[in-house]
A and B are shown apart, each in its own frame.
Chain A
Amino acid sequence: MIRVSNLTKRFGPQLAVDDLSFEVQPGVVTGFLGPNGAGKTTTMRLILGLAGPDGGMATINGVHYRDLRTPMREVGALLDAKSYHPGRKARDHLLALAQAGRIPSRRVGEVLDLVGLGDVAGRKAGTFSLGMAQRLGIAATLLGDPPILIFDEPVNGLDPEGIVWARTLMQSLASQGRTVFVSSHLMSEMALTASRVIVIGKGHLIADSTVDALIKGSSATVVRLRTPMPEAVIPRFEAAGASVQTDDDGALVVSGLEPSAIGDIAFYAHVPVHELSLVEASLEEAFMELTRDDVEYHAHGGATALQPPGQYGSLPPQASWPSGPAVR
């Protein structure tokens, strides 16, 4: 089991990981979600002892990574796919790692076959595509057949076939009773792969729940309204507790009110309605909504922000995410 308690990591004045606590249990794929820059990689590096914390601690089965007796047989971790010397053959790269972990060298051929690189074992790893590099990285994590696996954005750069392969592999590893901890900045990917998710933003914990609960809990109602007289209704919507934004082509995006209530308000205000449509929060938006406040870099002046008042508190109006809502 992986346990992170009050973990904190500072880079200069910036808090990359902020008093983070969570546990990762065996038997399921646990997703580690957050926008780019949220601190996922840093957290994983702290768990693996590659970086030292400024506060708190991270343990694996109760001990620090560096104190594991047989690290490669206890944890397999892939942080960066291309972490190999480009001039070394795939087989030799894995052999060097196996020897360091006191793992029999026959295991090298086994894991290469397992990830589908058996035929290119003698090729220099520098000639590999990103997808092959990911497979080589995953092969390295499996050398010691460890019960705990940690992958940082493993499907980045994989083709659709590779993504399905990686997803299936992770799920079957978990179904064998292993602890599988996978980071991603894509909620949709995690929804397909993971059954639990830990969501972070700006280094701190936002949610720690099952994927299902996360999606249910964040489906705030958002309605698009087109009218020639927006000024006449905006105050009324706001008085009714909704928040209102104007999107690029002049439509109002109202969150926090049911479509029926919005239609009624417009009717009683004698305001013509040209369009009234329900904008359903996708998985991606559920995640964006959760992390909106915690996105490190906002793209200003692009798309319009949605402002659903979710159970995670009110959100500042200037917050925006660089992509529009899905309209149905």
Chain B
Amino acid sequence: MTRTMSPPRSAGTKAPRPTDTLRSEWTKLRSLRSTPVTLAVIAVMVVGLSGLITLAVVTNHRRGAQVVTDPVGILQSAWFLGLLAYMVLGVLVMTSEYSSGLIGPTLLATPKRMRVLTAKATAFAVTALVTGEVVSFVNFFVSHAIASGYASFPDPSLGDHNVLRAVIGMGIDGGLAGLMGLALGALLRNTAWGITTGVAITFVLPLIFNFLPSSWSNPLLEYWPTQAGSQLEEVNRQAHALTAWWGTGDLTLFVILLLAAAGYLLVKRDA
């Protein structure tokens, strides 16, 4: 049975490059059916729920129920589900390696551990960013079509001030949420803890901050990474909030620090 094998040799072969690790991680991503299925579910949920909420708001608005200050936010009101899903997927990209034991063969193939983390982060961030942009734009156009039947609703168009930036920004935040999840997954090596921590950072803690005295909550919420990052999704600048780009920088820096900590521990700890 081993007749087909050539005698031992090791010289003269080419050393693997970082791009080889990247190809490997891309293969891992695309070869799991759960990846495209999850992404499709995200898309349907975000677009569908945003459409429904838009429909509800524009019908109410016709009856003069409320003044709309943030029309883009209404058209894409289910986007938080997308952020949540990308974060969970990011956690899973790392923790599934640990729960399945695949981390062993992965690190045997690529003992340079930073290379593994970089390749994983790159493959997943690109996937999250590209699909996030697609979902965000589809969401915008679908909700836009629903709202355009109601003349009294201040229906935004992509040409309006900061609207395009907000729609693109949601995709960017999807990529960053995914990277944050991936870093948390690498740090905690446990799916439940990774998701819990991610949800706490993104949704629960900012909610709790709201109950603090405003002398505390205002600066906290202003600089809190996920709050600051979400300013990119706003058409109008909020009170006590960073500008869209400073806010995105804040979130990006936070994600980079998390990834650096994850890389440090990945190299330092036993696999």
Contacts and interface: CB of A to CB of B under 8 A. Distances in A.
Interface residues of B, number: 41
B111 A173 contact: no
A49 B271 CA distance: 9
Interface residues of A, number: 54
A50 B7 contact: no
B18 to A, nearest CB: 10
A246 B40 CA distance: 70
A71 B105 CA distance: 11
6 contacts: A50-B108, A71-B16, A80-B104, A85-B102, A88-B28, A169-B2
B100 interface: yes
A270 interface: no
A274 interface: no
A177 interface: yes
B69 interface: no
Contacts of B16: 70-72, 100-102
A71 B13 contact: no
B5 interface: yes
A97 B105 contact: yes
Residue of B14, B21, B105 ringed by the most chain A CB atoms within 10 A: B105
A79 B108 CA distance: 10
A102 B1 contact: no
Residue of B5, B6, B34, B271 ringed by the most chain A CB atoms within 10 A: B5
Contacts of B23: 99-100
B215 interface: no
Interface stretch (A17-25, A139-147, A195-203, A222-230): A139-147
Given A92-B27, A102-B16, A87 B34 contact: yes
Contacts, number: 134
A85 to B, nearest CB: 5
Contacts of A83: 100-105
B20 A92 contact: no
Contacts of A97: 24, 105-106, 109
Interface string B140-166: 000000000000000000000000000
A173 B4 CA distance: 12
B110 A100 contact: yes
Nearest to B31: A92
B17 interface: yes
A51 B108 CA distance: 12
B95 to A, nearest CB: 11
B270 A102 contact: no
Contact of A72 (B2, B17, B101, B109): B109
A114 B5 CA distance: 9
B14 A102 contact: yes
Contacts of B103: 83
Interface in B12-42: 13-17, 20-21, 23-25, 27-28, 31-34
B10 interface: yes
A50 B270 contact: yes
A177 B111 CA distance: 25
B104 A51 contact: no
Given A92-B31, A95-B27, A147-B8, 7 more contacts: A50-B107, A50-B271, A52-B270, A85-B32, A102-B13, A113-B4, A168-B1
Contacts of B31: 88-89, 92-93, 95-96
A73 interface: yes
Interface stretch (A61-69, A183-191, A252-260, A295-303): A61-69
A140 to B, nearest CB: 6
Contacts of B110: 71, 100-101
B190 interface: no
Given A50-B108, A100-B24, A177 B7 contact: yes
A88 B6 CA distance: 29
Given A66-B111, A102-B17, A176 B102 contact: no
Contact of A96 (B5, B7, B28, B107): B28
Contacts of A100: 16, 20-21, 23-24, 106, 109-110
Contacts of A317: none
Q: Which 6 A-B pairs rank lowest in CB-CB distance, beginning with the nearest?
A: A147-B8, A83-B101, A92-B31, A100-B24, A100-B109, A51-B270
B13 to A, nearest CB: 5
Contacts of A142: 5
A165 B106 CA distance: 26
Contacts of A176: 2, 5, 7-8
B112 interface: yes
A70 B15 contact: yes
A178 interface: yes
A176 B3 CA distance: 10
B2 A114 contact: yes
Contacts of A26: 8
